[in-house]
Amino acid sequence: MAAPLAAQDDSGEANAIVVTAQRSGAPMWTVTTATGTVILVGEIRAIPKTVQWEPARLEEATRAADRVILGARPKVSPGDIFRLIFSGGKFTKLPDKTVAADYLTPEQWARLSAIGTAQDEDYSRSSFLLTSFQLLSKELRFNRDTGDDTTDVVRKAADKAKVPTTRAATLRGEDLLDNLAEAPPETHIPCLTAAMDALEAGPQIVEQRGTDWRRFKVAAVMANPLEQALGKCWPWADEQVGGELRTIWVDRIAEASAAKGTTLAVVPLRVLAESGGVLDQLDARGFDIAGPPWK
């Protein structure tokens, strides 16, 4: 009788953790295996403080988990910082003496120029990636008046409870800087276009994105112009870096599915729910997934 009873106790504990985590209001999926349970919390960054959810419930679930997996973290050395300081022009300006109109269609340049005039800004020499982030952060203000991100909530709770925590990967700062410096301006035009779309859609999309996240309307979050813009910008839109991050998550979750007990992982929602993303890949592998619709 001992083995079946132990299995029932483990299952009951895992179910209790799942229920507690779900009460936080964050969208999540559970992957049940023969040895344990993996809880995938779908994260969006910069949740407005006006969006009502219960981080305390997620903290409680974290403290009861056997292990935690958080997103990839860049490892930046002092040398990387000095390279950024002395090579800043590569990241902030268009190469040589080129201007935005050299790369954009007349329609795209007219659109960007009109936005710049309205904001009393000159975007003619700025890198498209820097311009995109400025449109989203300074003008759309998507990252103002926000609460703790899901990663911060789980990390702090795991640290206090001494729950073993790993990162999906550690990326070398040097490699990231090289990748960004070598990317031609044309690769950032989709990011710029999506950022202009988000800005022109209006500030209400910021609140709507958070509200849809809280209501588990995953497809609506993914279709939100702000989320679209963030997903089309570096590093997620970069084939090398973005592709590596997605592959890493599939591998980490597959590894966690073989572990005993409960694993709680905080995963970018776009990586989970995008077409061909982590949930699609896990589903194709035959994993037992429970949670809100993601398509």
Digit-coded pLDDT (tens) for 273-284 = 999 888 998 899
Residue 295 lies in a domain: no
Structural domain containing residue 208: 2-290
Residue 152 lies in a domain: yes
Q: Which of 12-16, 25-29, 93-97, 150-154 has the lowest mean pLDDT?
A: 12-16
pLDDT confidence bin for 179, thresholds 50/70/90: confident
Q: How many CB atoms lie within 10 A of CB 138?
A: 13
The token duo for 243 is 């592709």
Residue 119 lies in a domain: yes
Q: Which of 37-41, 93-97, 106-110, 201-205 has the lowest mean pLDDT?
A: 93-97
Residue 27 · residue 75 · CB < 8 Å: no
Averaged pLDDT of the chain: 88
Q: How many CB atoms lie within 10 A of CB 223?
A: 12
Q: 217 vs 245, which has greater pLDDT?
A: 217
* Residue 7 pLDDT: 43
Residue 214 · residue 52 · CB < 8 Å: yes
Domain tally for the chain?
1
* Nearest-angstrom CA–CA distance, 123 and 90: 15
Q: What are phi and psi of 263, to 5 degrees?
A: -110, 130
Long-range contacts of 112-118 (CB under 8 A, 24+ apart): 112/192, 112/196, 115/196, 115/199
Residue 247 lies in a domain: yes
Q: Which one, of 52, 56, 70, lies nearest residue 20 by Cα?
A: 56
Residue 23 has pLDDT above 90, yes or no: yes
